[in-house]
Amino acid sequence: MQLLKERIQKEGKNLGGGILKVDGFINHQVDPNLMDACGKEFAKIFRNIGATKILTAEISGIAPAVTTGIHLGLPIVYARKHKPITMPDQVFLTLTPSHTKGRTVELIVSPEYLSGGERVLIIDDFLASGATILGLVQLAQAAGAFIVGIGALIEKTFEGGRQALEFLGVPIEALARIKVMEGDQILFED
């Protein structure tokens, strides 16, 4: 998606160690109109997969998941990292390593909002190693739901996440696919 790639070129910062800083429009400050355009694009890509629910992980997946949900007319569920007091005792929980936090985090979904037979579209900000998205896949599968598609705003193709998710046999789409980050240089796949 040209609009997103241009924004990454203009404002993204390679902090080294595979970390791309996009805090100016995705991860701390959010450009809602860009997120809306991304949601519209995801809706176009995934409109025929028969999804019944969108699943994401707090925190940075929420904005693109919400805009995708608006354009597909689907509810979204964001997996929590801490169990709030409003959640029942019995939950779906998985552990996932966090690249940017350097430790393992919990991903928790209430069985109230993820049921057997649901067709789940996963939307997240990044597809890097695939660890977070794999955690979401495990939550959905624990609930007896089916994964029908995976969308990420930004993929770092050199971190192997796509390969780790291919076994699912579902469409995996990223709106900006980065193949190289070296110094100030950010190169996209064609």
Residue numbers at the binding site for a second copy (CB under 8 A)? 15, 19, 21, 23-24, 27-33, 35-36, 58-59, 62-63, 65-70, 73-78, 80, 82, 84-87, 100-102, 109-110, 112-113
Cα distances from 105 to residues 34, 65, 94, in angstroms, run 28, 20, 8
Q: With contact defined as beta carbons under 8 Å apart, do 138 and 123 qualify?
A: no
Task: Work out how close the CB of 40 gets to a second copy at its nearest, in angstroms, rounded to a whole number.
Answer: 11
Hey, what's the torsion of the CAs at 133, 134, 138, 143, to 10 degrees? 30
Choice between 109 and 150, CB closer to a second copy: 109
Task: Work out how close the CB of 19 gets to a second copy at its nearest, in angstroms, rounded to a whole number.
Answer: 7
- For the chain, state the CA radius of gyration: 16
Task: Work out how close the CB of 73 gets to a second copy at its nearest, in angstroms, rounded to a whole number.
Answer: 7
Residue type, 84: P
Choice between 70 and 131, CB closer to a second copy: 70
Task: Work out how close the CB of 142 gets to a second copy at its nearest, in angstroms, rounded to a whole number.
Answer: 16
Choice between 21 and 163, CB closer to a second copy: 21
CA distance 13 to 22: 7
Choice between 89 and 190, CB closer to a second copy: 89
CA distance 144 to 119: 10
